[in-house]
């Protein structure tokens, strides 16, 4: 996965520059400034700017500060009461701020002298302590200095009323007005809020002071109401009316301005990850966002939080998911967290398509049951908005909240588009990672690019690394998804390289081995060869594949999928023509015969596909050649007879068991075997080489019966039935 440079935009920083004001609040800020500048001399006023959390109050504060700081008649200071929770420290911190603002000292000369004396005495006491280790008589001097230090310390303090009197005098004589900005009051706890407002009330008559306080009126009123008046929110509001002379409501952001701010953050997230949306993708996102998540886009903070989540998610998933779906599922997470939680915890019920249509059934789809309670808690408009959003993200829901139904063929299209509704991609959107059993799409890009550069060694190393573990099946699946987009040269190199590594592919025992990695890899190779337009080159590459495929049975599997149907209307599904395929069989059979001469029996109970070699040989040269080979094998090693029967028996699956097992041997299997060896000949080998009661063979056996005995007796039962039927047919003919 390519590394993406991380932008520095994760903080919830308020605006500090008027050029960044995209919410059009400059007129509001200018008017507050004008009110402050035209206040009467020596007056004191408190302005309250109210707005809910995330509405941009701090940004307005910063922009107002910037605007006022350009005025010579105004001094601006911000007061933070966060760490000053007791009344005296809060008051002292506040008046010290005012004194610093106008350049005044609140200490008398005597207090300054005493303060300095205290510091000097403290330093000198350290010296006397060190001396006392060597000269014990110094303790007397240290005691004296200790007493002087205490006197000096006591002399530094003055009463609160005296302090208030001093600051009032300085403010009255000041030639400027001090504007005190106080933010985030609604984030204080109840005690801190009550303490702060007692302070403001006590200082309400300071001359040439203007307090501008930013807070959520409802939250603060509730905190004040418990201390003042009747103890409820109404009492708190009544108290605020006594403190705040100019209450202002932060103007709501125009819907279009808030939307533009939100999309600005979306653009930042996309550009920082170097993601470019097509015009169609842009339209899909805007349409779905506007009709879905935007109903809960109500504050600038919500827009910023959404943008920050995208800045977090995109670098981890760029190129690995559908960007529109990522934008929309993150909007669900930010604006409808209660719905997101349900979807995240039940991904299988939302991705993919339903196995059966439940629209006219009494059974309720699980996804609807999961969502109903959460949707009931929303307003009607919110409910309809989130349904529209969900139906786009998860089309499966269109059959529940609409009349559109999707079949399994849609899943392939969604998978190609890396959509969240594709089961193999869904988990990525919630885990922000690629499953250990999956493979990043970026890795496939590396493979195809290496093949396009004709770097066969790199291609083979890539395959060796990725098809020998649990990822093999997923690798083949994903290559099959993009097979039609791979050009001729990389298609040829990948097909040839993959054929050489068939032995590395996991090959489990299963009932439907065509869905396992070897068969799927063979199908992939066949389809990659279709990308080669020149028929001569295509046939040449196919011959190379059959000649080098390892093991040889994988070559037979590849050969099998090069021609799949005789139907005239299905010829475009064949990679080779019937004549080309028949001619290629000769190359395969020559390999098979060499393999047989080396002592291979051409069947293996550990590999379901091995016996296909016998049947391909028979198709090319007839039964006699194959039968001669099998007779040699059975004659030289009689234990091979029981193994042969096991390879010819069907695989069966019992409910409750994860793995298939060897099923019952019947007439169908007997007739199939007869095409490669005369069953009369084989019956003789079975009777002489296998365990069993062949005079009275049974078809059904106890579970404890050895597999070799069960299959041998079942073979004889089927053989006897065949013989009896043949005799009856002959008698009827006579």
Q: Are 432 and 420 in contact (CB under 8 A)?
A: no
468: containing domain: 434-603
What is the DSSP secondary-structure string of 369-430? Answer: HHHHHHHHTS-HHHHHHHHHHHHHH-GGGGGTSSS----HHHHHHHHHTT-TTSHHHHHHHH
198 and 235 assigned to the same domain: yes
In a domain, 608, yes or no: no
Beta bridge partners of 512: none
Q: Give the largest CA-CA distance in the chain.
A: 144
pLDDT for 665-698, tens place per residue? 999 999 999 999 999 999 999 999 999 999 999 9
In a domain, 4, yes or no: no
650 and 712 assigned to the same domain: yes
Spatial separation of the C-alpha atoms in residues 17 and 192, rounded to whole Å = 31
Structure-token pair, residue 588: 């395969």
In a domain, 615, yes or no: no
Residue 457 three-state SS = helix
| Angle at 82 (CA atoms; ends 76, 86), nearest 5 degrees | 110
Structure-token pair, residue 241: 């009316």
Q: Are 217 and 50 in contact (CB under 8 A)?
A: yes
Q: Are 524 and 479 in contact (CB under 8 A)?
A: yes
In a domain, 26, yes or no: no
Q: Are 437 and 471 in contact (CB under 8 A)?
A: yes
355 and 468 assigned to the same domain: no
114 and 97 assigned to the same domain: no
DSSP strand pairing (246-249 vs 651-652): unpaired
Q: Which residues contact 193 (CB under 8 A, 6 or more apart)?
A: 185, 220, 223, 224
Say which CATH number the domain at 247 has: 3.40.50.300
Structure-token pair, residue 365: 């789809």
Final residue of a structural domain among 251, 286, 320: 251
342 and 322 assigned to the same domain: yes
Using only C-alpha atoms, what is the Rg of the chain? Answer: 42
Spatial separation of the C-alpha atoms in residues 593 and 599, rounded to whole Å = 10
Q: Are 208 and 104 in contact (CB under 8 A)?
A: no
Q: Which pLDDT belongs to residue 202?
A: 77
Q: Are 438 and 474 in contact (CB under 8 A)?
A: yes
Overall size of the chain counted in residues: 734
Spatial separation of the C-alpha atoms in residues 441 and 68, rounded to whole Å = 54
DSSP strand pairing (651-652 vs 661-662): antiparallel
pTM for the model stands at 0.74
397 and 283 assigned to the same domain: yes
| Residue 645: closest CA among 690, 596, 613 | 690
417 and 491 assigned to the same domain: no
Final residue of a structural domain among 383, 400, 431: 431
At 360, give phi and psi (nearest 5°).
Answer: -105, 20
480 and 593 assigned to the same domain: yes
In a domain, 408, yes or no: yes
Distance of CA 727 to the CA centre of its chain: 68
Q: How distant, in Å, are the alpha carbons of 336, 718, 719 from that of 732?
A: 79, 21, 20
Q: Which pLDDT belongs to residue 402?
A: 81
246 and 209 assigned to the same domain: yes
Final residue of a structural domain among 121, 136, 155: 155
Q: Which pLDDT belongs to residue 13?
A: 52
Q: Are 367 and 349 in contact (CB under 8 A)?
A: yes
In a domain, 77, yes or no: yes
666 and 536 assigned to the same domain: no
Beta bridge partners of 74: 177
Query: Considering its fold, how many domains does the chain have in total?
Result: 5
In a domain, 19, yes or no: no
In a domain, 289, yes or no: yes
Q: Which residues contact 293 (CB under 8 A, 6 or more apart)?
A: 328, 331, 332, 334, 335, 336, 385, 389
268 and 238 assigned to the same domain: no
466 and 397 assigned to the same domain: no
CB 236: neighbour CB atoms within 10 A?
Answer: 27
HEC letters along 632-656? HHHHHCCHHHHHHHHHHCCEECCCC
Spatial separation of the C-alpha atoms in residues 154 and 87, rounded to whole Å = 20
pLDDT for 230-284, tens place per residue? 678 888 888 888 889 999 988 877 888 889 999 999 999 999 999 999 999 999 9
Query: Which residue ranges in the chain fall short of pLDDT 50?
Result: 1-2, 4, 10-12, 108-117, 120-121, 124-157, 357-360
Distance of CA 226 to the CA centre of its chain: 45
Spatial separation of the C-alpha atoms in residues 667 and 717, rounded to whole Å = 9
| Residue 508: closest CA among 644, 659, 655 | 659
């Amino acid at each position: 996965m390519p590394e993406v440079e991380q932008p520095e935009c994760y903080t919830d920083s308020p605006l500090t520059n008027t050029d960044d004001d995209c919410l059009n609040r400059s007129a509001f800020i200018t008017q507050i400034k004008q009110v402050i500048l035209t206040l009467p001399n020596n007056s004191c006023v408190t302005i309250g700017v109210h707005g809910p959390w995330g509405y941009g109050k701090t940004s307005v504060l910063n922009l107002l500060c910037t605007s006022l700081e350009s005025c010579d008649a105004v001094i601006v200071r911000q007061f933070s009461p966060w760490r000053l929770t007791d009344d005296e420290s809060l008051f002292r911190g506040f008046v010290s701020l005012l004194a610093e603002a106008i350049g005044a000292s609140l200490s008398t000369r005597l207090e300054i002298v005493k303060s300095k004396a205290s510091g000097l005495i403290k330093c000198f006491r350290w010296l006397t302590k060190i001396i006392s280790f060597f000269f014990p008589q110094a303790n007397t001097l240290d005691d004296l200095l200790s007493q002087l230090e205490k006197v000096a310390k006591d002399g530094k303090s003055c009463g609160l009323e005296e302090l208030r009197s001093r600051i009032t005098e300085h403010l009255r004589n000041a030639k400027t007005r001090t504007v005190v900005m106080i933010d985030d009051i609604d984030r204080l706890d109840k005690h801190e809020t009550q303490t702060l407002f007692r302070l403001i009330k006590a200082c309400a008559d300071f001359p040439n002071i203007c307090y501008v306080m930013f807070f959520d009126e409802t939250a603060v009123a509730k905190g004040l109401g418990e201390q003042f008046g009747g103890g409820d929110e109404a009492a708190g509001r009544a108290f605020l009316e006594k403190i705040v002379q100019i209450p202002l409501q932060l103007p709501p952001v125009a819907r279009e301005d808030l939307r533009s701010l939100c999309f600005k953050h979306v653009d930042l997230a996309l550009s920082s990850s170097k993601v470019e949306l097509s015009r169609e993708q842009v339209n899909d996102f805007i349409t779905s966002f506007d009709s879905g998540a935007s109903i809960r886009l109500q504050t600038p903070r919500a827009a910023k939080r959404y943008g920050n989540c995208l800045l977090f998610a995109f670098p981890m998933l760029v190129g690995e998911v559908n960007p529109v779906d990522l934008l929309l599922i993150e909007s669900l997470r930010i604006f409808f967290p209660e719905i997101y939680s349900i979807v995240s915890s039940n991904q299988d019920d939302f991705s993919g398509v339903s196995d059966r249509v439940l629209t006219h059934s009494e059974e309720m789809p699980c996804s609807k049951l999961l969502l109903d309670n959460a949707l009931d808690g929303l307003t009607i408009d919110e409910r309809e908005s989130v349904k529209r959003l969900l139906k786009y993200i998860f089309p499966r829901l269109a059959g529940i909240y609409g009349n559109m139904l999707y079949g399994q063929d849609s899943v392939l299209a969604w998978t190609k588009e890396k959509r969240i509704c594709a089961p193999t991609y869904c988990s990525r959107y919630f885990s922000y990672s690629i499953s250990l059993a999956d493979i990043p799409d970026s890795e496939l890009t590396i493979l195809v690019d290496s093949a396009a550069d004709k770097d066969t060694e790199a291609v083979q190393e890539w395959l060796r690394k990725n098809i020998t573990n649990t990822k093999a099946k997923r690798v083949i699946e994903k290559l099959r998804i993009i097979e039609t987009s791979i050009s001729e040269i990389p298609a040829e190199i990948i097909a040839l390289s993959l054929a050489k590594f068939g032995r590395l592919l996991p090959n489990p025992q299963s009932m439907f081995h065509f869905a396992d990695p070897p068969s799927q890899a063979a199908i992939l190779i066949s389809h990659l060869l279709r990308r080669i337009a020149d028929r001569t080159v295509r046939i040449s590459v196919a011959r190379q594949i059959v000649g080098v495929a390892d093991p040889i049975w994988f070559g037979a599997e590849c050969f099998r999928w090069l021609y799949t149907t005789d139907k005239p209307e299905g010829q475009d599904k064949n990679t080779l023509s019937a004549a080309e395929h028949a001619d290629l069989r000769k190359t395969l059979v020559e390999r098979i015969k060499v393999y047989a001469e080396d002592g291979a029996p051409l069947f293996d109970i550990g590999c379901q596909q091995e016996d296909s070699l016998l049947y391909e040989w028979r198709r090319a040269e007839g039964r006699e050649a194959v039968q001669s080979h099998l007779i040699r094998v059975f004659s030289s090693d009689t234990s091979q007879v029981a193994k042969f029967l096991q390879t010819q028996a069907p695989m069966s699956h019992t409910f409750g068991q994860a793995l298939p097992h060897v099923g019952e041997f019947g007439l169908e299997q007997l007739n199939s075997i007869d095409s490669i060896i005369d069953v009369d000949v084989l019956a003789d080998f079975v009777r002489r080489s296998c365990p069993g009661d062949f005079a009275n063979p049974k078809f059904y056996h106890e579970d404890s019966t050895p597999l070799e005995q069960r299959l041998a007796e079942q073979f004889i039962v089927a053989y006897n039935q065949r013989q009896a039927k043949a005799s009856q047919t002959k008698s009827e003919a006579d």
